[in-house]
Structure 1
Amino acid sequence: MSPFPSDLIPDILCWLPVKTLLRLKCVSKPWRSLIDDPHFAKLHLDYSLRTSTCVECDDKAYAVDFDSLDNLVHSLALSKSRYLLPLDDDIANDHDSLPGNHYDKNTVLGFGYDEISNDYKVVKMLRSKTQNSFKVMVYSLKADSWKRIDDFPYDFPTNYNDGAYVNNALHWVGDEIGEFHGGQVIFTLDLATEKYYDVPEGDTSFKIKKCGGDCPYFGYMNAGVLGGCLCVSRDYSTCPVEDHINVWVVKEYGVKESWTELLYLSRDQWLTNIFHTRAVGYSKNGDKVLLDDGGGRQPAWFNLENETGETLRIAGAPQLVSTTIYVESLVSV
């Protein structure tokens, strides 16, 4: 007989990592049924958002305890490859392979869950080699097939980062039509309608043509997710005129007045070796933001209270190309 009331077992198991839960399915038939239950999987996902695990991805994937790295709210994936996801053999065995799964350096990706149709979707944008445009394909897990939707309505994304998933939609940054290297715009692809929309902008000065004065530099802008909210990081750190980095957060999605500047720091404050910066996640108590360096260096913590920062050093980690959030889940696709 269990020493715990039966109604407490799910709450206890929810705190365990996925690999442990997969092993515990062998304990008994009731436990197997519980762990396989979709409702438990969703409950576990909610708890997983509070866990702390760091994953380094090179040709192989390695999991290390992230608690010693100042308790990031989610898990962290440090990757040299955009397409490497098998973090654990036990977990990777339960996956689907996409048909027509061909990518190259000119491919822009996005992945998200469509709550309206209860479907997982992958978005693939293929840049034309002969003209400045993108063909867009959407894969539906339910239909197990790709289909083409309207072409990307902007000249091209400012960078090839994967889409930021917020509010049932994927978000990227693009350049306005007819203004090559001109004004930048944040756009969204609604996963339910599979239509494009501009994101309402507040007083953020995103659509500037250049940083100021006679400087032709346009900065590096990136859409991301912080604390479940859409955020935009803009990096002028290599510009001789502006020379700063700032991050904006949308507190209330779709309301342009809710844009809030989270941080503003100049190059001489401390980021002397970081460029193409983007915000990745908060620390557990919310007083720090993890900043990723798109130039291939180590990520860094920025303290929001005293406006200081320090490089996040991980023993044995290789030079990194990308840092992203990773959350373990029992939710099966």
Structure 2
Amino acid sequence: MHMAAQHPTAAVLLCEVVMEILSWVPAKPVTRLKLVCKSWNSIISHPHFVKLHLHRSPKNAIVLSTLTPPFPNKEEKQSLVLSSVESFIQNPSSTVDAQENRHSLHLQDRVSGSCNGLVCVARILYHPNKDICDIWFRLLNPLGGFISENSPCLRVSMHTASGFGYDESSDSYKVVTVSRDSSGTVTAQVYSFGGSSWKRANSFPAFPFSVEDNGHFIGGTLNWLGLRNPHGAHYDWAAVTLDMLMIVSFDLKSDTHKQILLPKGIDEIPDKEPTLGVWGNSLYLLHNYKNTHFIAWQMKEFGDENSWTQLLKISFHHLGVERLLPEFIFENGNIFILRGRHCFELVFYDRRDNSVKRINILANNSYFIAFDYVESLVQPC
């Protein structure tokens, strides 16, 4: 007797069971499981599975953009390094040095952000003796090896910051540039990957403190902390007043911006430039206070200015530093990484047990930028 053909309903149920099981497998091994059979390849490649897998992927990873200075008989190199938060905290130097999960970048590249397992990279070509540059953006999925086509070339001022995020309403990934010319005029432009051109947004009311300040993605928006109506290309922080500070939130769905008010508890200008941070669904504002304390504010409900809460205030004495610069936030806003007295010293503060860990990283690891990262199978058009 011939075996009866499998009932269509049973086949569908089997497919759903396989999808459910595979959706919990980490991204790297699940890509290899495509080779098991055609049906598994079809399941893993399906957009529904990609989104389900992304939703279930662990959120405790980071991607580091590192720059290794030149040494005798060696060239300067730039890389992307994937790491768990735990590994990085335990040994930052070894993590940055590790060859595993390292991906080379061109020296003219700059990472603009990370979202849903994709890393947005800008290639920048500066014009000699001019205050302008040409810039292209592309997307990488370091785990899957995916590389998108370049965006159209954009000619902008050298004073240009950028940010990268996801617009769920159109299922599209967008990059935004914020440029300031010599007269102080600020212009924002938007590109949706897969499109053919850049779109100019409405006038922008502030400019980030530094071109290295990437827009912080949260709730479908990119957020920058900057100066209102800057005059010219440079500013003197000693002359900045509290009413000049503002958070600008750019909505990727509508391509419009709005202002987010600073916490009401900030009643004087910090002695150094504050920084923004994002972890999970919360926005953070980090700053020094009277050059004696480090303060962190958390907006518990993004968009609700009344939800600003002072998360911590800790003395430099407890941290064992004389000065510091806020850097990154990890582990759901529990671990703060600060730059200490010199650029080779990292200070880890864990507010759960009030512990402090200081690490001197080697000179060849002195420069890196960390981004929140999640493993994914995402490969947009």
TM-score interval, normalised by the smaller of the two chains: 0.7 to 0.9
CA distance in 2, matches of 1:204, 1:262: 12
Counterpart of 1:174?
Answer: 226
What letter corresponds to residue 186 of structure 1 in structure 2? I
Which residue, 286, 293, 309 being the options, matches 2:356?
Answer: 309
CA distance in 2, matches of 1:308, 1:281: 15
Alignment of structure 1 residues 41-80 onto 2, 5 Å: 41-52=50-61, 55=64, 57-58=66-67, 59-64=78-83, 67-69=86-88
Greater strand content: 2
Compute the displacement of 1:251 (Å): 1.0
CA distance in 1, matches of 2:142, 2:276: 31
Deviations 1:90-148 (A, max 9, x none): 633342321215678522011111122222111011221x2123222110125332111
Counterpart of 1:38?
Answer: 47
Contact 2:184 2:229 in 1 (8 A): no
Compute the displacement of 1:270 (Å): 1.4
Which residue, 186, 191, 196 being the options, matches 1:144?
Answer: 196
SS in 1 for 2:255: coil
Deviations 1:193-234 (A, max 9, x none): 21121114442316x3x34xxxxx3x2212221222111111
Counterpart of 2:10?
Answer: none
Which residue, 76, 91, 110 being the options, matches 1:82?
Answer: 110
CA distance in 1, matches of 2:274, 2:165: 21
Contact 1:56 1:77 in 2 (8 A): no
CA distance in 2, matches of 1:48, 1:114: 20
Deviations 1:225-270 (A, max 9, x none): 122211111134xxxx442211111111222221111121121111
What letter corresponds to residue 275 of structure 2 in structure 1? N
The 1:290/1:103 distance shift into structure 2, 3 A limit, reads farther
Alignment of structure 1 residues 214-225 onto 2, 5 Å: 217=271, 219-225=272-278
Contact 1:200 1:255 in 2 (8 A): no
Greater helix content: 2
Counterpart of 1:214?
Answer: none
CA distance in 1, matches of 2:227, 2:370: 24
Residue identity (%): 26
Equivalenced residues, count: 309
Counterpart of 1:133?
Answer: 185
Compute the displacement of 1:320 (Å): 2.4
Bigger Rg, which one = 2
The 1:55/1:165 distance shift into structure 2, 3 A limit, reads closer
SS in 2 for 1:33: helix
Counterpart of 2:25?
Answer: 16
What letter corresponds to residue 278 of structure 1 in structure 2? E
Contact 2:216 2:276 in 1 (8 A): yes
The 1:269/1:198 distance shift into structure 2, 3 A limit, reads same
Counterpart of 1:244?
Answer: 293
TM-score by length of 1: 0.78
What letter corresponds to residue 30 of structure 1 in structure 2? S
Deviations 1:249-297 (A, max 9, x none): 11112222211111211211115176221342216xx7x3132439744
Contact 1:247 1:279 in 2 (8 A): no
The 1:149/1:248 distance shift into structure 2, 3 A limit, reads same
Compute the displacement of 1:306 (Å): 3.4
Compute the displacement of 1:46 (Å): 1.8
Counterpart of 2:250?
Answer: 189
What letter corresponds to residue 177 of structure 2 in structure 1? K
Compute the displacement of 1:189 (Å): 0.9
Contact 2:63 2:370 in 1 (8 A): no
Where does structure 1 lack aligned partners over 5 or more consecutive residues? 212-216
Contact 1:292 1:322 in 2 (8 A): no
- CA RMSD between the two structures: 3.5
Deviations 1:155-207 (A, max 9, x none): x322331111112111111223379622211111111221121114442316x
Where does structure 2 lack aligned partners over 5 or more consecutive residues? 1-13, 68-77, 98-104, 113-118, 122-139, 232-238
TM-score by length of 2: 0.69
Deviations 1:19-46 (A, max 9, x none): 3222221211111111111121112212
CA distance in 1, matches of 2:15, 2:51: 19
The 1:89/1:233 distance shift into structure 2, 3 A limit, reads closer
What letter corresponds to residue 290 of structure 1 in structure 2? F
